[in-house]
A and B are shown apart, each in its own frame.
Chain A
Amino acid sequence: EPEVTQTPSHQVTQMGQEVILRCVPISNHLYFYWYRQILGQKVEFLVSFYNNEISEKSEIFDDQFSVERPDGSNFTLKIRSTKLEDSAMYFCASSPLSYEQYFGPGTRLTVT
């Protein structure tokens, strides 16, 4: 069964560094999403992406964040200058035209 994959599973970075989190959505899906979950807290919506542009973004998704679908298969989330409070699990999800979203296993980002 096709699934969303994410790499790396765990990323450790120093404050102020740039990180890129990678996702490979399910191949025939058209909508792509990033969510984050700070340890012990609820999952929060970051951004949705469709037709090579951002459809919606939350207040969390500020200028430090960007998304890209560089090659038709990968979907990336870039954090330009990481802060301690960016430490969280980041989940990618994708969906076809229907409303079901399929989540990847997540990338644990630790900012030191």
Chain B
Amino acid sequence: KNQVEQSPQSLIILEGKNCTLQCNYTVSPFSNLRWYKQDTGRGPVSLTIMTFSENTKSNGRYTATLDADTKQSSLHITASQLSDSASYICVVSARFSGGYNKLIFGAGTRLAVHP
């Protein structure tokens, strides 16, 4: 069964600190792995997308890693800001014939950045 598991479920950090969020997945056929940021009551916004051959990808203060052998990914946030408070969702895409992608969502890590 296609599944995406994230840890921790929630996290509180102080402004300026770094943090790392974890994602494990069992999805087939694997196409790519994405990290989304979702503010409360809003749609998910893409942070990074990584394909099978990519080990790391950065987007500003966000750095994602992917180990396709162990089926694990992490999202590292550097020098956190109050605006980083949101849910961070790991999403794994399975690509089927015809070109469309089915996204399998993790439950997310709820990050709260405190001053």
Q: In the complex, which residue of chain A has the Cβ closest to the Cβ of B104? A: A45
**A42-B107, A56-B96 are known contacts. Are A100 and B46 too (CB-CB below 8 A)?**
yes
A contact face: mostly helix, strand, loop, or mixed: strand
Q: Assign chain B's interface to a size class.
A: 20 to 34
Q: B75-112 toward A: CB 8 Å interface, digit per residue (1/0)?
A: 00000000000000100010110111111111110000
Contact A42 B43 (CB under 8 A): no
Q: How many chain A residues touch the partner (CB < 8 A)?
A: 27
Q: A45 to B105, alpha carbons, bound, how many Å?
A: 8
B81 CB to nearest A CB, Å: 22
Which of B46, B96, B99 has a CB less than 8 Å from the CB of A97?
B99
Chain B residues with Cβ below 8 Å from A104 are 43
Contact A45 B102 (CB under 8 A): yes
Contact B100 A56 (CB under 8 A): yes
Contact B96 A31 (CB under 8 A): no
Chain B residues with Cβ below 8 Å from A108 are 41
Contact B105 A106 (CB under 8 A): no
